[in-house]
Amino acid sequence: MRARLVWLLLPVIVGGGLMAVPAGGASGAPQAETVCTNGQSRETITFTPGVSETPSAGFWFSSGELGTEQCTGPVLGYEPTGPVTIRHHGGRFGTTDPDRCSTGGEGWGVATHTIPTKDGTKTIVNTFTFTYGGLSHGGITGTFDGDYYSGTVAFEVLEGDCVTTPITKARIAFAGTWHPYRARS
């Protein structure tokens, strides 16, 4: 039987101010928030050594094909002419202390978003941090906050059950909001 583990994260609301966009983006005028979701596209993530009831820290990385995103408008001033692609390069979990399924944890990661535009392809690298709570009623909730993109994520466990074997693979789904660059502490 396959376990199902879900992260539900609240979108981050962005305050006003001028939007910082990469060279070649739209004007510096404030933009409406753009939400991107990966819809039916599901990227597979591998965790090593895995997350279980044994406290652990380790690495995670994308082990599948590129994910795609559908966006509600311009991405940092760039108007997509098709699906935005995303590759989660990976990162670490258990960065403050070892993570456990029952108590949750934290970590960081890096993702590259590639945006097709009428003027060619634009690339945005988003470094982010995340925290999550313990497994509760079949789900895990938490938040992630990136340099340019923050939002919600859910994942379906593909390998492991968190109790008898560590979770080592999951398929992710997410929705996020683009915002001006903000340094994280």
What does 112-156 look like in DSSP terms, one character per residue?
EEEEEETTEEEEEEEEEEEEE---BTTBEEEEEEESSEEEEEEEE
Q: How far apart are CA 101 and CA 113, in angstroms?
A: 29
Residue 153 domain-assigned? yes
| Buried b / exposed e along 43-53 (16+ C-beta atoms within 10 A) | bbbbbeebbbe
pLDDT of residue 140: 67
The reply to whether 26 falls in a domain is no
Answer whether residue 30 is part of any domain.
no
Q: Quick check: is 24 in a domain?
A: no
Tell whether the model's pLDDT for residue 82 goes beyond 70: yes
Look at residue 170 and tell me if it is in a domain.
Answer: yes
pLDDT 10s digits, 84-118 = 999 989 999 999 999 998 888 999 999 999 999 99
46 or 42: which leads in pLDDT? 46
Mean pLDDT computed over every residue of the chain:
79
Q: For the chain, how many structural domains are there in total?
A: 1
By residue range, what is the domain housing residue 95? Answer: 7-16+38-175
Mean pLDDT of 26-47: 74
CA-derived radius of gyration, the chain = 17
The pLDDT, as a whole number, for residue 137 is 61
d(CA 43, CA 87): 8
* pLDDT score recorded for residue 157: 80
Of 136, 151, 124, the C-alpha closest to 34 is: 151
At 17, the pLDDT band (50, 70, 90 cuts) reads very low
For the chain, what percent of residues have pLDDT higher than 90? 45
| Range 76-86 average pLDDT | 93
Residue 22 resides in a domain: no
Give percent of the chain with pLDDT exceeding 70: 76
Other C-beta atoms lying within 10 Å of the C-beta of residue 75: 25
Q: Which residues contact 115 (CB under 8 A, 6 or more apart)?
A: 75, 78, 80, 84, 121, 122, 123, 124
Inside any domain, residue 29 = no
Q: What does the pLDDT look like over 146-176, one tens digit per residue? A: 999 999 877 778 888 888 899 888 888 788 9
98 preceded by cis ω (within 30°)? no
SS3 94: coil
Task: Look at residue 158 and tell me if it is in a domain.
Answer: yes
Buried residues in 125-151 as b, exposed as e (16+ CB within 10 A):
ebebbbebeebeeeebbbbbbbbbbbb
